[in-house]
Amino acid sequence: MSPKPSPLHVSILRHDWSVEEIQAILDLPFTDLMFRAQTAHRLYFDPNRVQVSTLLSIKTGACPEDCGYCAQSARHETGLERESLMPIDEVLDAARIAREQGATRFCMGAAWRNPTDKNLEQVIAMVEGVHALGLETCVTLGMLTGAQARRLKEAGLDYYNHNLDTSPEFYGQVITTRTFQDRLDTLEHIRDVGLKTCSGGILGMGESRRDRASMLRQLANLPAHPESVPINLLVRVEGTPLQASETLDPFEFVRVVAVARILMPTSYVRLSAGRSEMSDELQALCYLAGANSIFYGDRLLTTPNAESDLDRALFARLGLAFEEMDPERTEPGACHKAKQALDAIVEH
Ligand code: SF4
What is the domain partition of the chain in residue ranges?
A: 19-323+333-347
CATH architecture of 19-323+333-347: Alpha-Beta Barrel (3.20)
For position 99, what pLDDT does the model report? 86
- Annotate 247-265 with DSSP letters as a single string: PPPHHHHHHHHHHHHHHST
70, 85, 240, best to mutate for ligand 1 pocket (most atoms within 8 Å of CB): 70
Per-residue model confidence (pLDDT) at position 302 = 57
- Which parts of 165-208 fold into alpha helices (H)? 180-192
Q: Indicate whether residue 65 lines ligand 1 (CB < 6 A).
A: yes
pLDDT of residue 336: 39
Q: Length of the chain, please?
A: 348
Cα separations in angstroms, 84 against 7, 76, 81, 87, 275: 50, 18, 10, 9, 27
Tell whether 286 is in a known binding site: no
Amino acid at 93: D
**Phi, psi angle pair for 272, to nearest 5°:** -120, -120
DSSP class of residue 77 equals -
- How many C-beta neighbours within 10 Å does residue 205 have? 23
Nearest CA to ligand 1 atom 4: 67
CB 256 within 8 A of CB 274: no
Which residues, in sequence order, are CB contacts of 299 under 8 Å at separation 6+? 55, 57, 305
What's the CA gap between 4 and 24, in Å, rounded? 13
Please confirm, yes or no, whether 286 is among the known catalytic residues: no
335 is in an annotated binding site: no
Atom 7 of ligand 1: nearest residue by CA position:
111
Whether 107 is a known active-site residue: answer yes
335 is catalytic: no
- How would you classify the pairing of strands 321-322 and 268-271? unpaired
Report how far residue 295's alpha carbon sits from residue 208's, in angstroms, rounded to the nearest whole number: 26
Is 73 near ligand 1, meaning CB less than 6 Å away? Answer: yes
List per-residue pLDDT tens for the chain, 348 residues long.
Answer: 333 444 444 446 899 999 999 999 999 999 999 999 999 999 999 999 998 888 888 988 888 889 999 988 888 888 777 878 889 999 998 898 888 887 888 999 999 999 999 999 999 999 999 998 989 999 999 999 999 999 999 988 999 999 999 999 999 999 999 999 999 999 999 999 999 999 999 999 999 999 999 999 999 999 999 999 999 999 998 889 989 999 999 999 999 999 999 999 999 999 988 888 899 999 999 999 999 998 876 555 556 665 677 888 898 999 998 887 654 434 444 333 433 433 333 332
Q: Is 67 in the pocket of ligand 1 (CB under 6 A)?
A: yes
Q: Is the CB of 265 under 6 A from ligand 1?
A: no
142 lines ligand 1 (CB under 6 A): yes
Q: Residue 305 Cα, ligand 1 centroid: separation in angstroms?
A: 18
3-class DSSP state for residue 79?
coil
**Ligand 1, atom 5, residue with closest C-alpha:** 73
**pLDDT of the residue at 43:** 92
Nearest to 259 by CA among 201, 204, 196, 335: 201
Which secondary-structure segment (H or E) carries 293? strand 293-295
The 3-state DSSP class for residue 61 equals coil
Å from CA of 261 to ligand 1 middle: 26
